[in-house]
């Protein structure tokens, strides 16, 4: 029974978090920000993105209860806010005239200036909200609430550890997409990359709508079809 519970927690956490964080789609989008960087600079930026991702994800899991209590927030409200911001971000991606994520580094020819311009965007918007956004945080909060079992501290800690493992797994998938990113873009071509980015933006918008709908359903005690 214990193994089944652990397996269920892992699978349910993965299924809940993967569509929202979308490490494959966000990895393709982030590659647009990193275009033109030298290999050493690219590796350094990727390490910072992954570290920030872990800090935000694990930090949300660790202090989620405190944040909700401090600001007197409920999970449905967090879901509504996260869903709205996801939709806003996705609409910005969809609205870019060049069909890719726009970046002020596009016209920077000097490698040093290019690196500084990208590094200034590592936390915002590359890590937050592109890699891990408010929707992901709201899902982590939701998982955190379901992981707490009254009267069973050991099982609660184990559930938290499983969620942390899933967050780390999302980081690993993102890293595996970012590391060979330049080679992937060269193979699939610029046009295909632009089409993928648009599709990712659209599905990201749909995820935001789903999170908003879930928040509204919980607020008004509605049953979603």
When pLDDT is cut at 50, 70 and 90, the band that residue 53 belongs to is very high
Percent of the chain at pLDDT > 90 equals: 24
CA distances (Å), origin 128, targets 10, 115, 132: 24, 19, 5
Q: Residues 24-42: what's their mean pLDDT?
A: 84
Q: Radius of gyration of the chain from Cα atoms?
A: 18
φ, ψ for residue 109, nearest 5 deg: -95, -30
Kindly report, residue by residue over 61-114, the tens digit of the pLDDT: 998 878 888 888 887 888 788 788 778 878 887 876 554 444 444 444 578 888
Kindly report the pTM of this predicted structure.
0.78
Cα 100 to Cα 105: distance, rounded to the nearest angstrom:
13
Q: In residues, how long is the chain?
A: 225
Cα 99 to Cα 136: distance, rounded to the nearest angstrom:
24
Question: What pLDDT score was predicted for residue 104?
Answer: 46
Q: Residues 184-194: what's their mean pLDDT?
A: 74
Question: What pLDDT score was predicted for residue 107?
Answer: 46
3-state helix, strand, coil in the chain (%, to 5): 80, 0, 20
Question: What's 2-219's CATH class?
Answer: mainly alpha
Question: What pLDDT score was predicted for residue 33?
Answer: 83
Question: What pLDDT score was predicted for residue 103?
Answer: 47
Question: What pLDDT score was predicted for residue 4?
Answer: 67
Return the H-helix or E-strand segment holding 141: helix 134-147
């Amino acid at each position: 029974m214990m193994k089944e519970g652990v397996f269920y927690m892992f699978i349910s956490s993965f299924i809940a978090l993967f569509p929202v964080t979308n490490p494959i789609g966000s990895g393709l989008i982030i590659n647009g920000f990193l275009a033109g960087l030298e290999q050493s600079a690219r590796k350094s930026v990727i390490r910072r993105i992954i570290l920030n991702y872990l800090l935000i994800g694990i930090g949300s899991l660790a202090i989620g209860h405190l944040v909700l209590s401090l600001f007197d927030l409920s999970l449905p409200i967090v879901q509504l806010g996260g869903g709205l911001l996801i939709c806003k971000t996705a609409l910005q991606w969809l609205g870019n005239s060049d069909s890719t994520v726009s970046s002020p580094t596009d016209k920077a020819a000097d490698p040093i200036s290019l690196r500084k311009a990208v590094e200034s965007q590592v936390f915002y918007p590359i890590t937050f909200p592109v890699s891990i956004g408010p929707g992901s945080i709201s899902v982590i909060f939701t998982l955190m609430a379901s992981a707490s079992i009254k009267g069973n501290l050991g099982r609660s800690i184990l559930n938290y550890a499983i969620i942390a493992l899933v967050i780390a797994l999302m980081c690993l998938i993102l890293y595996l997409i970012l590391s060979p990113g330049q080679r992937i873009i060269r193979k699939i071509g610029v046009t295909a990359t632009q089409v993928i980015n648009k599709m990712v933006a659209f599905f990201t918008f749909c995820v935001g709508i789903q999170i908003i709908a879930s928040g509204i359903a919980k607020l008004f005690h509605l049953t979603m079809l």
